[in-house]
Structure 1
Amino acid sequence: MGEPRKKRFYVSFSDTELAVVRTAAEREGMASAAWAGRQVRAVAQHTLVPVSLDAADVLRELVQARVHLRETVTALRALAAAGPPGAGVPESAATAVARALDAVVRVDEATVAVMRERRPRS
């Protein structure tokens, strides 16, 4: 669309890499070369910042920590509902709070790691 494209840019892929590109292109209803060209332009324009394979581990950690936080919040709500008012905080509630705080720290650390990874490479 727009001006005609007369310039060519050759890229080599392994069989596995090409399969990934083709799958992504098919998912978006595009030709592989058009999809790859769009991705290259997005990276060049800093609208898409590539991340390392380690980012997948960090994102998994974020997901696990979020699940843990949800479970901990559920446990805290159950404890709060079960105890009579003014009875003090039972040991299990204190443990749940400690677990929640640990999970918050893990989510914060993972988030900072992802933020560092996602900075533009210029």
Structure 2
Amino acid sequence: MEGSSGGGRRRERLTSAPRGRRVNLSFNDAELEVVRLAAGREGMSPASWAGRQVMAVAQHVLVPVSRDAGDVLRELIQARVHLRETVTALRALTATGPPGSGVAESAATVVEEALKAVARVDEATAQVMRERRPRS
């Protein structure tokens, strides 16, 4: 049976006590499309998907995260890639520098600092990912 909201089959009626309480939600067109797509990915109607998400947040199973946190995570991952590329280039310098020029020692120091920066970015990335992960 096709639901009025474009979802799939409707759920069977509950035989337990009826749910007499309602919460109305309002979305603009873009927000509703996001909800419909998310519900569709999980084979649910938009209303049942939204209800499940609301209950998960209310029961502290899912922690809502702003879009900004996702942007921060993407930026951290890009920074990590750039740092790793820098470390690779610096290691190449240390291997090809003329003996006794001091370049190898200076580059080795820079490599160590870059590796410490990679570790800090890794820790920050892991922290953001922990905050995004649903609690169980």
Q: Are residue 11 (structure 1) and residue 28 (structure 2) matched?
A: no
Conservation of the 8 A alpha-carbon contact between 2:86 and 2:114: yes
Task: Tell me how far apart the structure 2 counterparts of residues 18 and 108 of structure 1 sit (CA, whole Å).
Answer: 35
Conservation of the 8 A alpha-carbon contact between 1:76 and 1:96: yes
Conservation of the 8 A alpha-carbon contact between 1:65 and 1:106: yes
Q: RMSD across aligned C-alpha pairs, in angstroms?
A: 3.6
Residues 1-122 of structure 1: pairs in structure 2 closer than 5 A = 4=14, 5-7=18-20, 8-71=22-85, 74-75=88-89, 82=95, 90=104, 91-109=106-124, 111-112=126-127, 114=128
Q: 5+ unaligned residues in a row in structure 2: which ranges?
A: 1-10
Amino acid at match of 1:6: R
- Partner SS, residue 50 of structure 1: coil
Deviates more, 1:58-67 or 1:26-35: 58-67
- Identity, % of aligned positions: 58
Higher CA-based Rg:
2
Closer, same or farther in 2 for the Cα pair 1:62/1:31, shift >3 Å? same
Amino acid at match of 1:11: L
Task: Tell me how far apart the structure 2 counterparts of residues 45 and 72 of structure 1 sit (CA, whole Å).
Answer: 44
Q: 5+ unaligned residues in a row in structure 1: which ranges?
A: none
- Partner SS, residue 63 of structure 1: helix
Q: CA deviation at 1:89?
A: 8.4
Q: TM-score, with normalisation over the residues of structure 1? A: 0.67
Q: TM-score, with normalisation over the residues of structure 2? A: 0.62
Deviates more, 1:18-27 or 1:65-74: 65-74
> Aligned residues, how many?
116
Task: Tell me how far apart the structure 2 counterparts of residues 12 and 76 of structure 1 sit (CA, whole Å).
Answer: 54
Higher RCO (CA < 8 A, seq sep 6+): 1
